[in-house]
Each structure stands twice: as structure tokens, then as C-alpha cells.
Structure 1
Amino acid sequence: MTLHFILVQNRQGKTRLSKWYDAYSDAEKNKTKGDVHRLIAPRDQKHQSNFTEYLNYKIIYRRYAGLFFCACVDTNDNELAYLEAIHLFVEILDSFFGNVCELDLVFNFYKVYAILDEVFLAGEIEETNKTVILTRLDHLEKLD
């Protein structure tokens, strides 16, 4: 199971979080961000799945309020595992910030990246236990 990148974008296409696990140039990153947004933003949530093809990869995404949480994986990877990992990430954000919103991602980006690194590490799903992750994050908060 290999994760290539994670993007969090709002409905207007502004990227609020991006983590790249493969080497991409800045031009490739910008093109990919635009392509992914154009691919998932117009999709019908009720009648289309949360999985779509992109180049030789799969984009797994989930929309929460006005934000799209997207993960790009290999075509032979388990979509449901990554869909659940995205949901876990959002649940942890919600618990950590207390009803998370887009502004939390903007103004506390360093904490969001720390949370992301607790769930995903080096392109793999690292931890799936919400309690363990929140305990680690609590220890990190106490260090500040």
C-alpha cells in the first residue's frame, strides 16, 4: 500500500493542506492540485463513489462540510482502507480542535501536519487507534 500524496482543498480549489510522499516539481504539484480539484469538485455525492481514476493512480476522497480530503494511491491498493483512514484523520482533527473548521487548518497548520504524521508516515498508514494518537498529541501539547 503506497500513498503518493494527500490534499485537503476547499470548494473553491484552495489547498489547505498538502503532503507529498513522492518527488514532484512545483509545476507538477500545482498542475496536480488543479487536476484533482477539477476531477472531484463537480462529482455528485449521492450518485457517484468516493473513488476515481487519475493518471495511473486512484484518488480516494471524502467531503466534510466545505473541504475535500483526498488521497492518491496505487490502483491495486485497498480503497476502503484509505477511505477509513481519511475518516479517522478527520475524527482526530475534530477531537483535537473541538469541532474543527477550515480556519483551524489555516491557523494551526503545524499542528495539523503533526496529526497527519501520526496517522500517515512515509506514505503508509501508521496508526489506526484514535486513543493512541490523541494521547501522543496530548504529550506533544504538554511539551510546548
Structure 2
Amino acid sequence: MFNAVVVRKSASNVSYKVEKVDESHLSKGDVLVKVVYSSINYKDMLALQYKGGVIRDYPMIPGIDFAGIVESSSNDKFKEGDNVLVTGYDVGVTHTGGFQNMHKCLESGLFLFPKKCLLKSLWYMAQPVLRQHYQFLN
């Protein structure tokens, strides 16, 4: 069990709260990441609005980008202990996002960074770069 912000939609409103969830709440993925840093941006705030238009299926765990450490992987490109950043690729929209302690990722939205770099530093430095990268892909 781990903590996650879960967004639910009823006929008249959207609600969100921190809940205890298990791995069955995670989307499909081949890399399990311990989330260390996440951010709240405009798209995340829209996800919490009734007519925000971001989340496609409820309930959903929002958070469109985050940094973390690989816990386990069945993908040859990533191994336990790797520093990674995740952004875009429908994370927090159709695929559970970074507002949780653990996250299952697909390779497509996962960026690998050297272990010798501090994860916190990478998180701050990478945000503008990842935004540019994401804009060119979409």
C-alpha cells in the first residue's frame, strides 16, 4: 500500500484526496519508479476542475511530470537505482501520474539520468528542457 492523490468525478463535481492504494491502481508499465519529486502546474490544476478537460478516465492519479528512482524493471534500458524523469505521454491524463509514492512507467515517457547527479538538481534543471522536448514531440 502507498499514498496517492486520487481524483474522482461525480455527476456534479470533482473531488480529490490522498488515499491508500495498492499496485492494482497503477497503469500498465514495465518500470516501477519510487516518486521523489513532482510538481503542480497549469495542466495539473485543470485536472482538478470539473470541466478541466485533462483527465480522460476516472478515478485517476494526476501529476504530469515527476522525478524518481527505479525500484524494478523488466525493460533492459532501466535498472534498479537509476535516476529518471517522467513527463508527458499522457501521464496524469490516461496513465496514472506522479502524485503518488510509486509509479509504473512505460519507456516512452522515461528519461534516464546519471546516478552521480543529485536527483533534486536534475529535477530543477530538467524542467525547462523537458518542456521544450515535449512541445516538439506533440
Fold shared per TM-score above 0.5: no
Greater helix content: 1
Normalising to structure 1: TM-score of the pair?
A: 0.29
Normalising to structure 2: TM-score of the pair?
A: 0.30
Greater strand content: 2
